[in-house]
Amino acid sequence: MKIVITGALGHIGSRLIRTLPERFPGATFVLVDNMSAQRYCSLFDLPTGVDYRFVEADVLTDDPADWLEGADVCVHLAAITDATSSFDRPEEVEAVNLTGAERVARACAANDVAMLFLSTTSVYGPQGDEVDEECDESELAPQSPYAQAKLRAERRLAKIAEEDGLRYVIFRFGTIFGVSPGMRFHTAVNKFCWLASLGKPLTVWRTAYEQRRPYLDLEDGVRAIAFAIEGDLFDNSVYNVVTANLTVRDIVEMIRTSIPDTEVGYVDTEIMNQHSYSVSAVRISGRGFYPQGDPRAGIHRTLELLKGVRTTSTQKAII
Ligand SMILES: NC(=O)c1ccc[n+]([C@@H]2O[C@H](COP(=O)([O-])OP(=O)(O)OC[C@H]3O[C@@H](n4cnc5c(N)ncnc54)[C@H](O)[C@@H]3O)[C@@H](O)[C@H]2O)c1
């Protein structure tokens, strides 16, 4: 079996490339990344005895057929991923996250490779308390250029399936928490852990403290990807993948169990969805996938990684 992973050195990819070989022994793993996120460390100390091939390439300018030939599956992770900063560079985000995905999808279709596309639960902007994959079009209301490009890419994949016979599945991941070798810290939970570890107030969007949102344990995300490949879940559908729906208050309280004097400071943002909502992951459970993650444990592991920072710079460690 040959599995291609684009964006393989990122936060999710750097964990995925270490887990998949355990689930698919003997497979070849082609790791594609343009190094724009500079996660060289993701390639450090890879497990031995695994057939890894790293390709430094850009999904936007290099020909995906070069690395997709002979592959069974492509897990497409490559993207510009910071939703907040996507307001400053919408064209670039659209190019990588939409056109890049389209280029990979067309090459997958041409080479008979099944594609797993990583989208986001940020495509939702529902009016009600809970939303699922069968929601009304009006409940798909992405709030950032990042999420808008993801939704457009989802729709483009459906078109390529019709036109060129692409076989694909879309996973809408909740916001990831949990540690990995190529971890990033600009998503909510990890950023809060970082700030709390430094003894700084958590910067919370003014409207967000009591709003419920979907989160995903990185281990659950990686297990879901392996589950899709194992079970050939390429049914041209969309699946939400979520460990827990939580409020910012819930997350702050979990952090305070490790660092009790963590403070909160409020900031304004352009991403100002006023509604509190949960995202249902019942559809993928119906296929036999159940999340097992624990936000409290994931937060604790992240804070543990940073505890040296806290003890030396703020004298606040109690873990
Ligand atoms: N982390 C989350 O909370 C989350 C939630 C939902 C969906 N997702 C999606 O999962 C995927 C992976 O996310 P992540 O958190 O690992 O992001 P990340 O930013 O850590 O990793 C993305 C990787 O893609 C690479 N890359 C960027 N542009 C590229 C290009 N043009 N060509 C080749 N490689 C390129 C970067 O160098 C980086 O290593 C993304 O598509 C993201 O939108 C992430």
Q: Give the distance (Å) from ligand 1 centre to CA of residue 82.
A: 9
Q: Express each pLDDT in 132-188 by its tens digit.
A: 999 999 999 998 999 999 999 999 999 999 999 999 999 999 999 999 999 999 888
- Percent of the chain's residues with pLDDT above 90: 85
d(CA 154, CA 167): 13
In short, whether 13's Cβ falls inside 6 Å of ligand 1 is yes
Do residues 220 and 75 both lie within one domain?
A: yes
Q: Residues 248-253: what's their mean pLDDT?
A: 96
Among 1, 29, 52, 15, which Cα is nearest to 184's? 15
In short, whether 204's Cβ falls inside 6 Å of ligand 1 is no
Do residues 117 and 187 both lie within one domain?
A: no
Q: Does residue 287 lie in a domain region?
A: no
Q: Is the pLDDT of residue 315 over 70?
A: no
Do residues 205 and 59 both lie within one domain?
A: no
Helix-helix angle 11-23:218-230, to 10 degrees: 50
Do residues 142 and 193 both lie within one domain?
A: no
Both tokens of residue 8?
A: 């393989």
Q: Is the pLDDT of residue 316 over 50?
A: no
Lowest mean pLDDT among 5-9, 139-143, 178-182, 243-247: 139-143
So what's the pLDDT on residue 83?
83
So what's the pLDDT on residue 84?
82
Measured from the Cα of 42, ligand 1's closest atom is 39
Do residues 9 and 158 both lie within one domain?
A: yes
CATH of the domain at 162: 3.40.50.720
In short, whether 142's Cβ falls inside 6 Å of ligand 1 is no
Residue nearest to atom 25 of ligand 1 (CA): 7
So what's the pLDDT on residue 208?
84
Domain count, the chain: 2
3-state secondary structure of 94: helix
Q: Express each pLDDT in 264-310 by its tens digit.
A: 998 876 665 668 999 999 999 999 999 999 999 999 999 999 988 86
Measured from the Cα of 182, ligand 1's closest atom is 20
In short, whether 117's Cβ falls inside 6 Å of ligand 1 is no
In short, whether 17's Cβ falls inside 6 Å of ligand 1 is no
Do residues 266 and 134 both lie within one domain?
A: no
d(CA 99, CA 58): 12
Lowest mean pLDDT among 77-86, 96-105, 168-177, 236-245: 77-86
In a mutational test of the pocket of ligand 1, which residue from 36, 76, 81, 116 has the highest number of ligand atoms less than 8 Å from its CB?
81
So what's the pLDDT on residue 126?
84
Domain that holds residue 112: 2-176+216-241
Q: Residues 19-26: what's their mean pLDDT?
A: 98
In short, whether 39's Cβ falls inside 6 Å of ligand 1 is yes
So what's the pLDDT on residue 270?
63
Q: What is the mean pLDDT of the chain?
A: 93
So what's the pLDDT on residue 310?
64
Both tokens of residue 231?
A: 């079970």
Q: Does residue 302 lie in a domain region?
A: yes
Q: Is the pLDDT of residue 237 over 50?
A: yes
Task: Give the pTM.
Answer: 0.95
In short, whether 178's Cβ falls inside 6 Å of ligand 1 is no
Q: Give the distance (Å) from ligand 1 centre to CA of residue 8.
A: 8
Do residues 222 and 118 both lie within one domain?
A: yes
Which among 62-71, 183-192, 196-205, 260-269 has the top mean pLDDT? 62-71
Do residues 147 and 61 both lie within one domain?
A: yes
With a CB cutoff of 8 Å and minimum separation 6, the contacts of 13 are 5, 7, 31, 33, 42, 77, 182
Q: Does residue 254 lie in a domain region?
A: yes
In short, whether 187's Cβ falls inside 6 Å of ligand 1 is yes
Do residues 33 and 18 both lie within one domain?
A: yes
In short, whether 58's Cβ falls inside 6 Å of ligand 1 is yes
Both tokens of residue 128?
A: 């009600």
Do residues 59 and 170 both lie within one domain?
A: yes
In short, whether 7's Cβ falls inside 6 Å of ligand 1 is yes
Q: Is the pLDDT of residue 226 over 90?
A: yes
